[in-house]
Amino acid sequence: MSNLSELLPAGGSGKTVEMVASGALANGDKVILQSDGTVKVAAVTPASTSSPVAFASGEVGTRNHAVFDPVNSKVVIFYQDKDSSNYGKAVVGTVSGSSISFGSEVTFNSGGTNYIRCVYYANTGKIVVVYQDGGNSNYGTAIVGTISGTSISFGSASVYNAGNQSIQAVTVDTTNDKVVIGYRDNGNGGYGTGVVGTVSGTSISFGSETLITSSNSAGKSVSGCVFDSSSGKVVMAYQDLSGGYYPTAVVGTVSGTSISFGTPVVLSSANGPTEEALFHSPTNQVVIGYSNSGLKFKLGSVSGTTISFGAESTANSYYGATTMCLDADNNVIASFRDAASGPWYGKFAVGTVSGTTMTWTTPVYFSSSAVTSYSIMSAYDLTNDKVVIGYADGSDNDYGKCNVVGLASTNLTTSNFIGTSEGAFADTATATVMLRGGITTTQSGLTIGSTYYVQDDGTLATTSSSVLAGKALSSTSINLDYTT
């Protein structure tokens, strides 16, 4: 007997059942059981993007930021209003279906405002906003916001750096219940610096500033700051301007109202700025983006006061400043300005973590207009399973716009796959389905003896997934749900 296919009776074997088709089924389709008892082909619904919606009444600047408030189910956008003397403004957005609506604009800083970053402070349900205050000698300043309905109010501003501060990032150390800010202190030779803040009601106060390292004064532009809850440490990502302009990371330890730093670790020995950073809780790794000959990412694992990195992955072949957020499945959504796409349109890609590296989907447009450099911001709306991406529309006088993105999704789960369609059937027709545990002969291109899995799009592949299909008995047959 040359192979196991000789054991198969004509037409396959195993138990079949007659079920009503929901949508047309092709011969060999992998099908799922729906809650109404009908069967449907396992498939992926592609990503969708809404029409642009204005979040500001005019031109906005760059280095704006957005955050999602999970208690109020609101997306809040913080931006520089260039039509109002560069004042710092905020607006509260409500996602409904595939669109978003906004409340009235609220001013949080009546002066030139730049390098805005924000973070949700879950302990009190507040939002902490940090920025460079051009109306106060470019001092590093923070303020606490409270959402009510479709508006936001603010407490008193607090200075954390009485100098010319610039590129910065902020996170919340949930172990110590502190806000941590990393920034470039231009008033002190451009040193990379960290400071710890304590929130009380609608106020925030700060401890002493701490240098990341005093080995040089050439500058460190801190663009990523994230808390690793597994290690209880803060990780800052920055471009080290002291030599090579390399993307670099350092681990910080909070104690009381101060922070200390370990030895910096270089991500890549190529010139390039760092982008934002995220914490991937299922694998206890930090995700850091950076740019050199494309948009690159690495996963970092913290041990003590140092960090080590896995292999480099590429989300886009061309550089474009990026913003990141995590969806409900802890996939990384990277949104960026694509330097290869005509007038630099906006795109996004979805990154999946596997071990110590990442794989990325093919980038998809979220905007058919030009996106102004460093104006992109994003927030994932957990309530509505949508990503809100904001930007300055370079094709429309840099007006503040945003798009609501529905991510690609599959209807396949670990529990609803029941078998294969044994023929072609029209919508609402009675279809014959080979159930799991049977042998189907309706497939093609299989390798004898290989174990196959059902992919999100309903195809079969040897790439592992959460849905086991079975072992191939011939090029056209598979023993469904074969146990290895």
For residue 407 the two structure tokens come to 């991510």
Q: If we measure between CA atoms, which residue out of 331, 393, 390, 341 comes closest to residue 363? A: 341
pLDDT of residue 483: 56
Is residue 413 within 8 Å of residue 30, measured between CB atoms?
A: no
Radius of gyration of the chain (CA): 26
pLDDT of residue 69: 98
CA distances to 6, 113, 156, 263, 328 from 202, in Å: 75, 20, 7, 35, 29
Is residue 300 within 8 Å of residue 309, measured between CB atoms?
A: yes
Is residue 113 within 8 Å of residue 86, measured between CB atoms?
A: yes
CA distances to 26, 51, 412 from 477, in Å: 16, 45, 21
b/e for 236-273, b at 16 or more Cβ within 10 A? bbbbbbbeebbbbbbbbbbeeeebebbebeebbeeebb
For residue 172 the two structure tokens come to 């919340």
pLDDT of residue 101: 98
Distance CA 441, CA 444 (A): 8
Location of structure tokens 């049977």: 438
Is residue 109 within 8 Å of residue 87, measured between CB atoms?
A: yes
Query: Distance of alpha carbon 132 from its chain centroid, rounded?
Result: 25
Distance CA 285, CA 278 (A): 9
pLDDT of residue 249: 96
CA distances to 69, 101, 403 from 389, in Å: 15, 13, 5
Which residues lie across from 289 on neighbouring strands? 297
pLDDT in single tens digits along all 484 residues of the chain: 343 334 333 444 458 999 999 999 999 999 999 999 999 999 999 999 999 999 998 999 999 999 999 999 999 999 999 999 999 999 999 999 999 999 999 999 999 999 999 999 999 999 999 999 999 999 999 999 999 999 999 999 999 999 889 999 999 999 999 999 999 999 888 899 999 999 999 999 999 999 998 765 556 889 999 999 999 999 999 998 877 789 999 999 999 999 999 999 999 988 888 899 999 999 999 999 998 888 999 999 999 999 999 999 999 988 777 899 999 999 999 999 887 766 789 999 999 999 999 999 999 999 988 999 899 999 999 999 999 999 999 999 999 999 999 999 999 998 999 999 999 999 999 999 999 889 999 999 999 999 999 999 999 999 999 999 999 999 999 999 855 4
Q: Reduced to 3 states, what is the DSSP secondary structure of residue 264?
A: coil
Which residues lie across from 478 on neighbouring strands? 440, 472
Q: Reduced to 3 states, what is the DSSP secondary structure of residue 461?
A: strand
Which residues lie across from 177 on neighbouring strands? none
For residue 347 the two structure tokens come to 């795109």
Q: If we measure between CA atoms, which residue out of 300, 295, 222 comes closest to residue 267? A: 300
pTM of the model: 0.90
Distance CA 18, CA 418 (A): 12
Kindly state the DSSP code that residue 423 receives in the 8-state scheme: S
Q: What angle do CA 164, 235, 296 make, to 5 degrees?
A: 95
**Amino acid identity, residue 247?**
P
For residue 167 the two structure tokens come to 């590129």
Domains of the chain (ranges; CATH) run 4-46+411-480 (2.40.300), 48-407 (2.130.10.10)
Q: Reduced to 3 states, what is the DSSP secondary structure of residue 84?
A: helix
Distance CA 449, CA 377 (A): 48
Distance CA 392, CA 469 (A): 47
b/e for 8-24, b at 16 or more Cβ within 10 A? beeebbeebeebebbeb
Distance CA 104, CA 118 (A): 19
Q: If we measure between CA atoms, which residue out of 7, 45, 26 comes closest to residue 433? A: 26
Location of structure tokens 């000959």: 293
Location of structure tokens 């449907």: 40
Q: If we measure between CA atoms, which residue out of 278, 173, 182 comes closest to residue 229? A: 173
Distance CA 198, CA 354 (A): 36
